[in-house]
Structure 1
Amino acid sequence: MFESNASSESDASELRGVLWDMDGTLLDSEKIWDVAVAELSLELGRVLTAEVRTSTLGNSMQGALRKVFAHTGTEATEQSLGWARDWLTDRVGHLFSEGIPWRPGAKDALGLAREMGLGTALVTNTERGLVETALETIGREYFDFTVSGDEVEEGKPHPAPYLLGASLLGLDPSHCLAVEDSPTGSLAARRAGCSVLLVPSEVEVSAEPGYVLRDSLVGINADELRSAWCDARSATSS
């Protein structure tokens, strides 16, 4: 069982922090990953299928690479995984440097959370080098802390990234709303004890206890952000 290092608070009656996923939630970067992962699959000798690509969405780097390796029949050794990680990181970094589009409403939603005085952290499976490149687009001023996939024991769907994000903010996860787009990330947030505002991007995600679904972040206001946290939390406890 996984527990937060943050001190537990007896009064869990208000939203105090927002934990933001990055790829597919704040930035429309999954399409960039589509290009790079497809190219890697070809480099390994087989055309990537839509099914395999979909299965990698929201995965850690190692998780995604192992699925591509299984698809291409490539032996997953420490050396081969290291080569593929470097190849994919270099390619995505180059594509990121050409510009990353925002997801609809995401920039305004980031500003809203800051205006509300909430603690905020970026929590992503993407590794630190690429996160630093992406932050040039997003803006570091929107976050008190950032958590990347290579800074935790395991990436999403393990709860470790969200537990660390909440801990850095000094909050119990129950006081936090995670904003996610993928099944993998949403599961990680729920396992950590966060409420989840789920805004699907590349794949459909079914409603689950603890999730509140929204078509996009466009036009979201403070009351709706608080209600998403409250409704998701109520659904989990009912």
Structure 2
Amino acid sequence: MTALEAHAYPGAAQDLQAVLCDMDGTLVDTERSWFATEVSVMADLGFHLGPEHAERLLGSPMDPAVAYLIGVSGVDIAPAELERRINARMVETLSSGVDLRPGAKRLLAELDAAGVPLALVTASYRAIVDAVLPSLGAHHFSVTVAGDEVTLPKPHPEPYLTAAEALGAAPDRCVVLEDSRTGVASGEAAGCVVVAVPSMTEIPAGPRRTVVPSLESVDLPFLNHAVRRRLAGH
């Protein structure tokens, strides 16, 4: 029996089969914490990281983010050491808890009660995921995919394809919830239905995505409708 069959609910065969959730900026209010941490770590190294760099770093996996920070600053530090400092400081920041984005708690509870399989799919490393899960509620997620557990991170489709396969769900019947252009690109490349909930930067509307102001606009009927429209070719 697949994870999908184990969590089946009425209408699953026709419509929504799973929801694949980004973490930072989508379910939890950590995007500003990430950027503040990067600003702090770079300041320790003598470089002022201004707000003009935020969009480039938002939703970025760790390796390209570190490469960007070293490239733009010219600081003399090994990528592995900069990565270690950023992750360690974020774990410290998150250890006291993290706020959920508006509508996230209600939506997770609704999907859980309906038996909809859920996966957490993030560019953050496992240490960060484990620090955030107590605030999110680890019991909501049948599968979690961290950025250091895939070969090709977002915007490559591998993270979302990995989650869909683990849940036994067809990608075109999965809804991806994302807040960044990098994550949206990953979900779309995986062939999923994408609902974008912008946090720090704008996400333009597109033929393969729905853009909403917050998760307060999203519920189970909304997600089922989004999948039906996709399957109908709209």
- TM (norm. structure 2) is 0.90
TM-aligned CA deviation for residue 232 of structure 1: 4.9
1:98/1:139 CA distance change after superposition, 3 Å: same
Question: Is the contact between residue 18 and residue 176 of structure 1 (CA under 8 Å) also seen in structure 2?
Answer: yes
Secondary structure of 2:215 counterpart: coil
CA-atom RMSD in angstroms? 1.7
Matches of 1:168 and 1:92, distance apart in 2: 28
TM-aligned CA deviation for residue 13 of structure 1: 3.9
Partner of 2:114: 116
Matches of 1:207 and 1:12, distance apart in 2: 28
Partner of 1:34: 35
Question: Is the contact between residue 177 and residue 195 of structure 1 (CA under 8 Å) also seen in structure 2?
Answer: yes
What amino acid maps onto 1:182 in structure 2?
Answer: S
Matches of 1:160 and 1:12, distance apart in 2: 24
What amino acid maps onto 2:171 in structure 1?
Answer: P
Question: Is the contact between residue 195 and residue 211 of structure 1 (CA under 8 Å) also seen in structure 2?
Answer: yes
TM-aligned CA deviation for residue 219 of structure 1: 5.3
Partner of 1:227: 225
Q: Describe how 1:210-225 pairs up with structure 2 within 5 A.
A: 210-218=208-216, 220-225=218-223
1:156 to 132, 154, 157: 154
1:50 aligns with 2:48: no
What amino acid maps onto 1:158 in structure 2?
Answer: H
Partner of 2:78: 80
Partner of 1:144: 142
4+ residue runs of structure 1 moved beyond 6 angstroms?
A: none
Secondary structure of 1:122 counterpart: strand
Partner of 2:8: none
TM-aligned CA deviation for residue 43 of structure 1: 2.6
Question: Is the contact between residue 60 and residue 126 of structure 1 (CA under 8 Å) also seen in structure 2?
Answer: yes
Question: Is the contact between residue 22 and residue 123 of structure 1 (CA under 8 Å) also seen in structure 2?
Answer: yes
Matches of 2:190 and 2:13, distance apart in 1: 15
Q: Which runs of 5+ in 2 are unaligned?
A: 1-11
What amino acid maps onto 1:192 in structure 2?
Answer: A
| Identical amino acids, percent of aligned pairs | 35
Spell out, residue by residue over 1:178-222, the C-alpha distance to the aligned partner (whole angstroms, 9 max, x if none): 001110001000001100011111111001121011111115332
Corresponding residue pairs, total: 223
Secondary structure of 1:218 counterpart: helix
Matches of 1:229 and 1:43, distance apart in 2: 47
What amino acid maps onto 1:14 in structure 2?
Answer: D
Partner of 2:183: 185
What amino acid maps onto 2:72 in structure 1?
Answer: H
Spell out, residue by residue over 1:88-113, the C-alpha distance to the aligned partner (whole angstroms, 9 max, x if none): 01100000012211100001111111
Matches of 2:103 and 2:226, distance apart in 1: 16
Spell out, residue by residue over 1:120-158, the C-alpha distance to the aligned partner (whole angstroms, 9 max, x if none): 100000000110010011111110110000000011101
1:36/1:190 CA distance change after superposition, 3 Å: same
1:203 aligns with 2:204: no
Question: Is the contact between residue 186 and residue 196 of structure 1 (CA under 8 Å) also seen in structure 2?
Answer: yes
